[in-house]
């Protein structure tokens, strides 16, 4: 069981094999500890020493996030670190040819997934409704393939993403939701808010997979290697964005599973979830993550979290030279 604690001021403690969630000394909820696999804490949440010790002893991952879902850190336990793998990563970080090849694979994978997503959804629009965007993404993919350096590849990724979101907004059928363009830092509309929230959750999932495999999240290819920037994490997230999060958000809106009343405006017109809206979003997100998909490299049916790990292992094998080509994840039979 993956649990999320969103109640501000809540305190997590332990009693007779149960996790106790309380506020102002009143018990809000109780959960059997042996059912908990992962804990996500959002905002101002406190933990008692006994429950911290329990999580550490049982190696249960505890993630600390802001109220808006941004990763802040985690309760640390000894992680698996593959020293030989990391040495190869450091060598590869100096290999511009390797980095360019991987960067092209990542961007082409992301844009192909974007193209397939729009194409599959175009049947719900008037004929030719997404022709312009599909053609633009297709041409951008061709340019990526010919890119001479990583800066060019990054530029083409930005262009392809712009055309993708121009098509994405045409797929939104719920008239209560206005989405002119993707806005960041902070989001200015409910669609952007949900996408940002979803991407933060996706970062946490892929980061967990990177840690399990023993990769160093700071040494990537497409994204620049800066102090405190997890470049590899940002790299490996790209191919999953529309398959997992964009599709999820679109379904929430078009099926009226979340409504405009689940959002509120705060200072400077910044959009936030209401408390009920956040709980609804998290519940439905976990439903999506509990589903299974076919993994493209072996055609096995796996839970999505397992697929994140498989893809991280695939990247590790490419770094070690055991496999020649990095093949981004794509949804089989979309």
Is 157 annotated as a binding-site member?
A: yes
* Token reading at 327: 């093949």
Is 238 annotated as a binding-site member?
A: yes
Is 79 annotated as a binding-site member?
A: no
Residue 79 burial class via C-beta count within 10 angstroms: exposed 0-12, middle 13-18, buried 19 and up: exposed
β-strands 71-74, 263-265: how paired?
unpaired
Binding residue positions: 157, 223, 238
Q: Which residues are annotated as a binding site for Mn(2+)?
A: 157, 223, 238
């Amino acid at each position: 069981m993956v649990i999320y604690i969103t109640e501000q001021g809540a305190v997590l403690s332990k009693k007779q094999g149960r996790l106790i969630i309380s506020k102002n000394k009143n018990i809000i909820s109780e959960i059997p500890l042996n059912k908990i696999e992962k804990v996500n804490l959002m905002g101002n949440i406190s933990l008692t020493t006994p429950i911290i010790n329990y999580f550490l002893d049982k190696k249960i991952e505890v993630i600390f996030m802001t109220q808006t879902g941004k990763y802040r850190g985690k309760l640390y336990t000894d992680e698996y670190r593959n020293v030989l793998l990391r040495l190869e990563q450091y060598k590869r970080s100096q290999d511009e040819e390797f980095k360019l090849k991987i960067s092209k694979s990542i961007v082409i994978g992301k844009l192909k997934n974007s193209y397939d997503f729009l194409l599959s959804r175009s049947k719900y629009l008037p004929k030719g409704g997404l022709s312009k965007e599909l053609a633009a993404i297709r041409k951008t993919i061709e340019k990526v393939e010919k890119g001479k350096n990583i800066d060019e590849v990054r530029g083409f990724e930005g262009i392809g993403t712009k055309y993708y979101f121009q098509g994405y907004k045409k797929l939104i059928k719920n008239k209560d939701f206005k989405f002119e363009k993707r806005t960041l830092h902070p989001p200015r509309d409910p669609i952007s808010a949900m996408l940002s929230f979803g991407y933060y959750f996706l970062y946490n999932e892929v980061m967990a997979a990177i840690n399990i495999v023993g990769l160093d999240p700071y040494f990537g290819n497409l994204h620049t290697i800066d102090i405190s920037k997890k470049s590899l994490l940002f790299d490996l997230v790209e191919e999953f964005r529309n398959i997992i999060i964009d599709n999820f958000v679109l379904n929430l809106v078009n099926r009226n599973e979340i409504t405009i009343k689940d959002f509120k405006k705060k200072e400077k017109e910044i959009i936030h979830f209401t408390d009920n809206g956040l709980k609804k979003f998290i519940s439905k997100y976990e439903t999506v993550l509990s589903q299974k998909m076919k993994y493209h490299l072996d055609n096995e049916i796996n839970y999505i979290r397992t697929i994140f790990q498989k893809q991280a292992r695939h990247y590790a094998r490419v770094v070690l030279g055991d496999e020649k080509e990095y093949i981004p994840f794509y949804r089989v039979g979309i």
